[in-house]
Structure 1
Amino acid sequence: MSHNISFGCFVAFVLLMLSCTKPKVEADILIENGTVYNGVDAEPKMMSIAIKEDKIIYVGKAEDVKIMASRTIDASGMVVSPGFIDPHTHATLDLDNPELSDNRPFLFQGVTTVTVGNDGNSPYPLQIYRTKCEINGVGTNVILLVGHGTIRNRVMGMTDREASGRDIQKMEELVQQEMNAGAFGMSTGLFYAPGSYSDTEEIVALAKVVARNNGIYDTHMRDESTYSIGLIPAIQETIEIGQRAQLPVHISHIKCLGVEVWKQSDSIINIIEDAQRKGVDITANQYPYEASATGLQSAVVPRWAESGGKDSLFIRYQDSRWRNRILEETQNNIARRGGPQTLLIVQSPNKDYEGKTLLEISETLNMGPEETVFKILEEGYIKIASFNMNPYDIANFMDEPWVVTGSDGGSGHPRKYGTFPRKYHKYVKQDSVLDLGSFIKQSTSVTADILRVSKRGKLLEGYFADIIIFNPNTFEDKATYNDAFQLAQGVKYSIINGEISIDQGEYTGGRNGIVLKK
């Protein structure tokens, strides 16, 4: 008996000594018992994560260290992931507004970093915008892009003409100025005026400035349908820009818009992957909805008629020499989008129009859909949701490892509030297009690599502590086309730069993001 007691005491003593020799980690926050996807590995692990100030200081087994933390989060039954990084948003006006800069529509999706300045349209100058955001405080981290359309407009106005050598020199200087202010790259909106008035040579010249600054080229391409050069030639132009300017190119967004180009995704994937094999760094983002969103004017009015701005458009429209041509081309563009019944008004100065299709409004006004366009545009900016994508192409693109999640989130479309949880709920849980590990990688580390964001997008020691914890059973979008302003559910914790922004499903009021600088 005494021998057994002595042996038991010896074992206890050894265990005590071993526990005393474990490395000690002092932390602000400890996350334990969660299913951890680190953004790199496809399979999850059961690991503990310790945070000190704004960094991750430990990732590993709890029993290997002695962690002393001020706050412990029990993540049992939940998924622990890097915070999502959104490469394409329209949160620009929210972030420099002190009432909206908490960025809650994105926070509750699990987004911890947003990108602004997309589609060729950026704040100018970026340094002033950066200062406003820093004064207000921002709810998420912010990545800035310089918009080609913004720069072109400052140098050349909204006119439809080719840039001279002097014009290009001035634009190069302004692009360099904005890169110096911390832009991560340049965006183009070649489908929109005034970007649509530029040629490839102009874009290559400016992209070379971006390349010298180790930036990226992000593009809403010249065509996603059959408006001008066609979808596949627009892909080829993007590849050419990447080759000639020697910089990474990123398509915002990859889609086949309209019946005439449905099911071209197979050909497009082959073209892009052939370019990748030849050394072109080309990627894309995608939102998981069958409806796009844009301005009614941008969607259906011919670009040549817009030259000089909206006032010039209406002068031409009232001119009998141009009116019939404008109406005919507008009618053709409505047909490209699938007809007036597919164009849903989601934002208008006249609230009676919201929630109605262009067809319904035209019937109420007793005029043709193409004439109705100009009647309602007289009242101001009209935003539409355009139901013109095929589920086959959406799933086909989504399965590619070089296609990441991007919301294109702006007011009036549910994607501002629901993109990331919708992709998870519909395409991971319901349709099994992606597994959970792939969804997380394509929303975190792959996006960080594309944007060249350092030390974010992965749960690794030494990385910034941008971490989300969500319930896999309840993580879901709630925003719809008829009610686009509903916060997503299921994110239990959001930690940004080591500070808790969502705590047990409730917003803490903290504006813990920063404006990142390259």
Structure 2
Amino acid sequence: MELHTIGRLTATALAVTALTLSACGGDDDTPATEAATPVAVDLLIQGGTIYDGDRDTPVTGDVGIVGERIVFVGKAPAGVVARRTVDAAGKVVAPGFIDPHTHANLLSADAATRLNAAFTTQGVTTAIIGSDGYGGYDIAAQAALMRTAPPGTNAVIFVGFGPVRQSQLGLTNAAPTPAQLDAMRQHVADAMCEGAVGLSAGLYYTPQTYAATEEVIEMAKVAATYGGLYDTHMRDESTNLKAAVAEVIRIGNEAKLPVHISHIKALGADVTGQAGDIVKMIEDEQAKGLKITANQYPWLASSTTMDAALIPSWALAGGRAAMLQRFDDPAQQAQLRAGITENLRIRNGAASILFAAGSAQYVGKTLAEVATSMGVDAVDATIAVLRVANQLVANFNQTDADVQAFMKRPWVMTSSDSSPGHPRAVGSFAQKYAEYVVKQKTISLAQFIRSSTSLTADTLGMVERGRLKAGHYADVVVFDPATYAAAATYTAPTLLSKGVVMTVVNGQVAVENGTATGAAAGRALLRARPASCPATTATAGTVRPAAFREEAHDDEGHDH
């Protein structure tokens, strides 16, 4: 079923919207004096402190929802009747948060995993998946799976440079032939036509790191043809940070598309204090016309796999089996040990590396502690641990001054980079509020909300989301400003955040009083199919006239 713009608003919702617009057409908050007949809404969030995603100054008022849409924001029209009313006095009411860089498993066969409670209990209603270049190029299949087994949050999907490259080159350190490059271009084009928001790359990770900049530019040009953007985990966030930022800028300028730096940071000993220099590089390019933005998680420790953190990239070529063979090759020991030693130095040493997830005998210990218990140095411990299995590690490698310097910029948005074993997976939005709005007062509440909602929606080209506005989809969070905070820590990384009174996803209550309700109201939010794409008989969802289309749901209003 093809529906356009506000296609699923019921007659009641349209009536309420029209009434509200006539009542609040200017700056006057005066409600309609009377309605011809009482107007019904499904959910009335009453008397909250409303931050709409744009304005710096909140208003005290109401939000009315019918079906999956917001029908008024401000003072409720006279005579409104609600099936359910929530008292939000003293609470913050905001657009549902949008996380632009996640590893959420919204395609899981497990229904509880798909609910994504770690996100909804923070007020996150949309998660971007396919991050770090890991997303498959089968966008239509992913969207179809979400229709059959819906997630708890909405999903925006990137096509990943990794699978695109691996389809032709596997895990090898090699350049593509012209024919292989054409095949890779076709994968990106197909993914964009199926609704991907853009191309994501993780040039830090093997085998993506083996790609020359020119190869990435060729893929980004395809995404640009279809109106997409380029998202990246940069090639280096540490010693060669400035060169990596320069590469992102080059890709944007030569491919002629917006670029987005994920989890921007100054990582490790060599670049501590360089946030200001990076900000200047980016803002100089913005002044020249390049659209460049970034996201950031509000933690001082990063998280990645142990091999990616400590093993030199040349030793990872060919995958795990090839790496283990190099561990046993006497001819490569000097070079291997030197590379591990250098990576340990960059990452502030073995005492700054905490095992976050993986083998039980290591989790919760630092690499220094494991090395001591083995009676070996940190290099030998690294090799010994990786012989058992790869591990997820948290690495304390950033300063609070650098984190705050990035956070203050108006083009940096909130993200989680969610991964197991790190509190960022369950508490990033709540942590940013509690630590940097309330405790340190680094940013205002309005800036926190904007950087978690409308800025992200605008960057990704999402329409009718990211703001509290009549006619928009009803993605809403209500939280208690006195208690909203992360509960997770580095040693207890799975504790869910506290302080969310209610999270609403597409008009359905997903969280109530801090507890997930079990509602799976999320859907794939696919980019509109460009006219330049080949004709297809498949219909992936509701075509949006602007940037996105919504996956079709059999939900006419609220009678279902």
Q: TM-score, normalised by structure 2?
A: 0.87
Q: 1:161: Cα distance to partner?
A: 1.4
Q: What do the CA deviations read for 1:200-228 (whole angstroms, capped 9, x no partner)?
A: 111111111111111111000011011xx
Seen in structure 2, the aligned counterparts of structure 1 residues 169 and 270 have a Cα distance that, compared at 3 Å, is: same
Which structure 2 residues correspond to residues 401-480 of structure 1 after superposition, within 5 A?
Answer: 401-480=410-489
Cα distance in 2 for partners of 1:111, 1:288 equals 15
Cα distance in 2 for partners of 1:407, 1:191 equals 18
Moved more, 105-114 or 317-326: 317-326
Cα distance in 2 for partners of 1:299, 1:252 equals 17
State yes or no: 1:372 paired with 2:381.
yes
Match of 1:190 in 2: 203
Match of 2:494 in 1: 485
Aligned partner of 2:176 among 152, 157, 163: 163
State yes or no: 1:236 paired with 2:250.
no
Does the Cα contact within 8 Å between 2:129 and 2:135 map onto a contact in 1?
Answer: yes
Q: What do the CA deviations read for 1:117-159 (whole angstroms, capped 9, x no partner)?
A: 1011113523333333332221000111111011111111111
Name the amino acid aligned to 1:502: V
State yes or no: 1:281 paired with 2:291.
yes
* 5+ residue gaps, structure 2: 1-31, 528-560
Q: What do the CA deviations read for 1:35-62 (whole angstroms, capped 9, x no partner)?
A: 0000010110012211111111112223
Seen in structure 2, the aligned counterparts of structure 1 residues 213 and 79 have a Cα distance that, compared at 3 Å, is: same
Aligned partner of 2:97 among 59, 62, 84: 84
Does the Cα contact within 8 Å between 1:23 and 1:65 map onto a contact in 2?
Answer: no
Does the Cα contact within 8 Å between 1:22 and 1:65 map onto a contact in 2?
Answer: no
Does the Cα contact within 8 Å between 2:433 and 2:445 map onto a contact in 1?
Answer: yes
Match of 1:14 in 2: none
Match of 2:28 in 1: none
Aligned partner of 2:327 among 310, 317, 332: 317
Cα distance in 2 for partners of 1:124, 1:187 equals 11
Instruction: Look up the SS of the partner of 2:114 in the other structure.
Output: coil
Cα distance in 2 for partners of 1:98, 1:75 equals 30
Does the Cα contact within 8 Å between 1:96 and 1:129 map onto a contact in 2?
Answer: no
Does the Cα contact within 8 Å between 1:187 and 1:219 map onto a contact in 2?
Answer: yes
Cα distance in 2 for partners of 1:508, 1:141 equals 16
Match of 1:135 in 2: 148
Q: TM-score, normalised by structure 1?
A: 0.93
Cα distance in 2 for partners of 1:385, 1:112 equals 26
Aligned partner of 2:271 among 223, 246, 261: 261
State yes or no: 1:42 paired with 2:56.
yes
Cα distance in 2 for partners of 1:351, 1:125 equals 35
Does the Cα contact within 8 Å between 1:476 and 1:489 map onto a contact in 2?
Answer: yes
Which structure 2 residues correspond to residues 311-350 of structure 1 after superposition, within 5 A?
Answer: 311-348=321-358, 350=359
Match of 1:146 in 2: 159
Does the Cα contact within 8 Å between 2:106 and 2:151 map onto a contact in 1?
Answer: no
Q: What do the CA deviations read for 1:417-460 (whole angstroms, capped 9, x no partner)?
A: 11000000000000000010000000000001111111100001
Does the Cα contact within 8 Å between 1:95 and 1:103 map onto a contact in 2?
Answer: no
**Percent of aligned pairs sharing the same letter:** 39
Moved more, 127-136 or 373-382: 127-136
Cα distance in 1 for partners of 2:33, 2:457 equals 38
Seen in structure 2, the aligned counterparts of structure 1 residues 126 and 381 have a Cα distance that, compared at 3 Å, is: farther
Name the amino acid aligned to 1:272: I
Does the Cα contact within 8 Å between 2:99 and 2:124 map onto a contact in 1?
Answer: yes
Name the amino acid aligned to 2:459: I
Match of 1:9 in 2: none
Does the Cα contact within 8 Å between 1:95 and 1:102 map onto a contact in 2?
Answer: no
* Number of positions where the alignment pairs a residue of Structure 1 with one of Structure 2: 496
Cα distance in 1 for partners of 2:109, 2:195 equals 17
State yes or no: 1:359 paired with 2:368.
yes
Q: 1:103: Cα distance to partner?
A: 0.3
Match of 1:125 in 2: 138
Name the amino acid aligned to 2:44: L
Q: 1:398: Cα distance to partner?
A: 0.4
Name the amino acid aligned to 1:50: G
Seen in structure 2, the aligned counterparts of structure 1 residues 115 and 20 have a Cα distance that, compared at 3 Å, is: closer
Cα distance in 1 for partners of 2:345, 2:206 equals 21
Cα distance in 2 for partners of 1:80, 1:50 equals 12
Does the Cα contact within 8 Å between 1:88 and 1:408 map onto a contact in 2?
Answer: yes
Which of structure 1's runs of 4+ aligned residues deviate more than 6 A?
A: none
Instruction: Look up the SS of the partner of 2:331 in the other structure.
Output: coil
Moved more, 23-32 or 437-446: 23-32
Cα distance in 2 for partners of 1:451, 1:312 equals 38
Q: What do the CA deviations read for 1:344-363 (whole angstroms, capped 9, x no partner)?
A: 00112x20111111111111
Aligned partner of 1:249 among 259, 281, 289: 259
Cα distance in 2 for partners of 1:95, 1:432 equals 38
Cα distance in 2 for partners of 1:286, 1:339 equals 24
Name the amino acid aligned to 2:318: G
Name the amino acid aligned to 2:462: V
Which structure 2 residues correspond to residues 31-110 of structure 1 after superposition, within 5 A?
Answer: 31-62=45-76, 64-92=77-105, 95-110=108-123
Instruction: Look up the SS of the partner of 1:389 in the other structure.
Output: coil
Cα distance in 2 for partners of 1:481, 1:123 equals 30
Instruction: Look up the SS of the partner of 1:217 in the other structure.
Output: strand
Instruction: Look up the SS of the partner of 2:492 in the other structure.
Output: coil
Which structure 2 residues correspond to residues 183-222 of structure 1 after superposition, within 5 A?
Answer: 183-222=196-235
Cα distance in 2 for partners of 1:151, 1:368 equals 39
Moved more, 463-472 or 306-315: 306-315
Name the amino acid aligned to 2:68: D
Instruction: Look up the SS of the partner of 1:81 in the other structure.
Output: strand
Name the amino acid aligned to 1:53: G
Moved more, 94-103 or 234-243: 94-103
Q: What do the CA deviations read for 1:364-390 (whole angstroms, capped 9, x no partner)?
A: 111221121121112222010000001
Q: 1:96: Cα distance to partner?
A: 4.6
Match of 1:508 in 2: 517
Q: 1:21: Cα distance to partner?
A: 4.7
